[in-house]
Chains A and B, each alone.
Chain A
Amino acid sequence: MKFRVAREGLLLVALAALPAVGEGFYFRDRVSWQSPIPAAELVTVDQAKAWGDNAIWVDARPDDEFASDHVPGAFSLNEDHWGELLAQFLPNWSPQKKVVVYCSAESCNAARDVAKRLRDDAQIQNVFVLNGGWEEWVKRK
């Protein structure tokens, strides 16, 4: 009796797993998306603005987009010229400041990548990604 229940249970689990295995095989070429940015690493425009002079803004967009317009006082720091731009950014940073990184919009990954590099390569704490990016800043400025 016990074995029968166990066997039927296993059968049910196997049947339930079958569609997942099939989907995994069928969509094997699909892109596996990056996990979302943890909420603790995100900051809204209003929150970042409230930090005032305690915040240092970093524009992770390409040079031409930064040149076209940017958050007042923001530093350009993108991965196209990381070494050169980091050297320009660091003298203006101090450990007391919160770093707010933004890129074009919610869908872009540049801010996340730059924020990660600031934490990993430059060992800077208090690095946040601006929720909604430049698009959101423009809406709320």
Chain B
Amino acid sequence: MKTRILTFTVACRAVALCVGGSILLALSARAELKWEQNVIELHPSVGDKQAVAHFKYQNTGTAPVHFKSVKASCGCTTTQTQTEVVNPGEKGEIVATFNIGDRTGQQLKTVTVQTDDPNPAQASTVLALKADITPALEIKPQVVYWQNGEEPKSKKISVKAAKEFPAKEITIKSNSQNFESKVEPGKPGEWTIEVTPKDTTHPIGTALLIQTDYPKNAPKSFYLNVVVTNPPQAPPALRPSAPAAPGIKAATPAAIPSVSPAAR
């Protein structure tokens, strides 16, 4: 009996020693990457091509941290790490560059960082970049439709320049003979475009190129699409033998001059 009690006591001590030792070891050699900010809000200016976020970190632990992967959620965002290993006490940053392109409105792009931190909760971190993109020109609507057979009446499109985009004049370019367009200036920085199709007897579409007089050395270009479509098809049950409707003939965009990279 005494032997059993002794064995049990020794076993308990051994387990306690192991657990305690592990905890001590974990505490003494922990790796911890502390991020200054997980979410960064950016406010790019009108016309900016990129928005850059600097996610700063520091290894506040006592063991080195290795980056295993840094992945952006979107092909539009590139990331750059300064180093592969972050030693204890070391500071650094991951730079995320968001290429704005033709995006507008609220944007949320994420970067997932995987490290070799033994703590699963710390091993993966999601960093987020938020940006509110104001378009230089607000075109409403961006696409104007007429139905095939509809009376070829003119339709109006409103164009408004952003406050930070001091365009005084816009011009319209089109190689299509099927649509007529004219620009009427309104308040400063506001215009109304009137587009009229010559006829709506067949489906046709084209893109009108709106060009601003600002910036002077690299005027910006925007597209306004005007389309004559087939009327929406009746449900198949009502038209069992209806032939497939032809597509819209493209008058452009091949005819439209290509847009300078500055406008993208």
Contacts and interface: CB of A to CB of B under 8 A. Distances in A.
Interface of A: 29-31, 34, 53, 61-62, 65, 78-84, 86-88, 90-96, 104, 107-110, 113, 121-123
A91 B248 CA distance: 5
A107 B109 CA distance: 12
A131 B142 CA distance: 28
A34 B108 contact: yes
A86 B74 contact: no
Given A87-B253, A91-B248, A109-B73, A80 B223 contact: no
Contact of A80 (B253, B259, B264): B264
Contact of B247 (A29, A61, A80, A91): A91
A80 B259 CA distance: 13
A31 B110 CA distance: 8
A83 B137 CA distance: 12
A80 B39 contact: no
B252 interface: yes
Interface stretch (B82-90, B95-103, B182-190): B95-103
Interface in B191-205: 203-205
Interface string B2-42: 00000000000000000000000000000000000111000
Given A31-B39, A108-B73, A110-B75, A90 B205 contact: yes
Interface stretch (B57-65, B156-164, B165-173, B224-232): B224-232
Contacts of B102: 79-83
Given A96-B245, A123-B141, A65 B203 contact: no
Given A90-B227, A110-B75, A31 B248 contact: no
Interface string B110-130: 100000000000000010100
Contact of B249 (A29, A30, A91, A109): A91
B256 interface: yes
| Residue in A88, A95, A123 whose Cβ sees the most chain B Cβ within 10 Å | A95
Contact of B250 (A84, A91, A104, A107): A91
Interface in B213-264: 221-223, 225, 227, 229-233, 244-253, 256, 258-259, 264
Contact of B142 (A78, A104, A121): A121
Nearest to B38: A29
13 contacts: A29-B37, A78-B75, A81-B102, A82-B101, A87-B223, A90-B205, A91-B249, A91-B253, A92-B247, A95-B231, A96-B230, A104-B75, A123-B143
